[in-house]
Amino acid sequence: MSKSAKVALTGIKPSGELHLGNYLGAIEPALELANEYDAYYFIADYHALTTVRDPAALRRQIDELAATWLALGLDPERVVFYRQSDIPEVFELFWMLACIAPKGMLNRAHAYKAAVDRNLEEGLDRDHDVNAGLYNYPILMAADILAFDTDIVPVGQDQKQHLEMTRDLAGSFNTLYGETLHIPEPLIRDQVKTIPGTDGRKMSKSYGNTIPIFAPPKQLRKKVMSIVTDSKGIDEPKDPDQCNLFAIYQHFAPPEAVAETRRKYVEGGLGYGYLKQELFELLEARFGDQRERYFELLAQP
């Protein structure tokens, strides 16, 4: 599909090793934007400073994130791929927006409210361990978006507030200084793909239940084989819609294989060990070459 003149912007915060949940929920749909829009992708390294305190770790995570996206198919010849900290104008715009941003708006930001709620639940001061970076996070996000005359920002339902704040700040700025900033529109992703982790809960680093995208074969196989299932035997009928293993498998197998596996679940005759081996082979086929490219990129100075 040929690109339109519209600009779509995606920010990616370096946060450590990426897993299959990240790939399905964020990376794959973001890569598809390049087929329809003038796509801009940036590594949000300054946003990461709100939580990362180890400079060496942050540098490593930035390199790993860039290598991941490039290995998975991000083509710098077709898109704009940059590091947030390399664009000083973003931070100039941040300050101008900060000077018109109502404090009450920042008080309502989801991330700040969540931190306050946790503190109050634990009997701590409401702003315990809350830094100004977290508090001003929505303003920097607005600057990221508005600095590039962005038309489209893909967001999930839980991220709509950030874009609404961006639009409000742009409107206030234009009222004061004339029509200067382009007001973006959301691209709402209502059905974000999610998959369970190896223990059945949502796949998340905080749960320690992830399957890394670029895990070496031995580690990958161990992760897949650790997926929790029930104790039903090969010949017993099973419910695919209640099975963690099937929930992951269906995203990586061809449609006809998914349909056949679903039938075998319902009728009986399929063992979990066999399907785990099949899933391992599917993941190795899907990401094996990309894993090699990933480590090649990391090895470059």
Which tens digits make up the pLDDT trace of 185-221? 998 876 677 889 999 999 998 899 999 999 999 999 9
Report strand pairing: 80-83 vs 38-43.
parallel
pLDDT at 1: 40
Asked whether the predicted pLDDT for residue 3 surpasses 60, the reply is no
Domains for the chain: give ranges and CATH numbers: 7-189 (3.40.50.620), 205-299 (1.10.240.10)
pLDDT at 299: 94
First to last CA, the chain: 35
Under the banding of pLDDT at 50, 70 and 90, the label for residue 5 is confident
Half-sphere exposure of 209 (CA within 13 A, CB side): 17
Query: Model confidence over 147-196: pLDDT tens digits?
Result: 999 999 988 766 789 899 999 999 999 999 999 999 999 988 766 778 89
pLDDT at 4: 57
What one-character-per-residue DSSP string does 121-171 give? HTT--TTTT--HHHHTHHHHHHHHHHTTT--EEEEEGGGHHHHHHHHHHHH
Residues 6+ apart with CB under 8 A from 256: none
Distance CA 214, CA 252 (A): 15
Nearest Cα neighbor of 140 from 44, 59, 69 is 44
Q: What DSSP state is assigned to residue 106? A: H
Query: Model confidence over 63-82: pLDDT tens digits?
Result: 999 999 999 999 999 999 99
pTM: 0.88
Residues 6+ apart with CB under 8 A from 296: none
Average pLDDT score over the chain: 93
Find residue 188's DSSP bridge partners: 155
Residue 173, amino acid? F
Mean pLDDT of 106-116: 93
Distance CA 241, CA 247 (A): 7
Give the distance from CA 280 to its chain's centroid.
Answer: 23
pLDDT at 219: 98
Residues 213 and 18: beta-carbon distance below 8 Å: yes
Asked whether the predicted pLDDT for residue 2 surpasses 70, the reply is no
Find residue 154's DSSP bridge partners: 187
User: Encoding tokens for residue 143?
Assistant: 């600057």
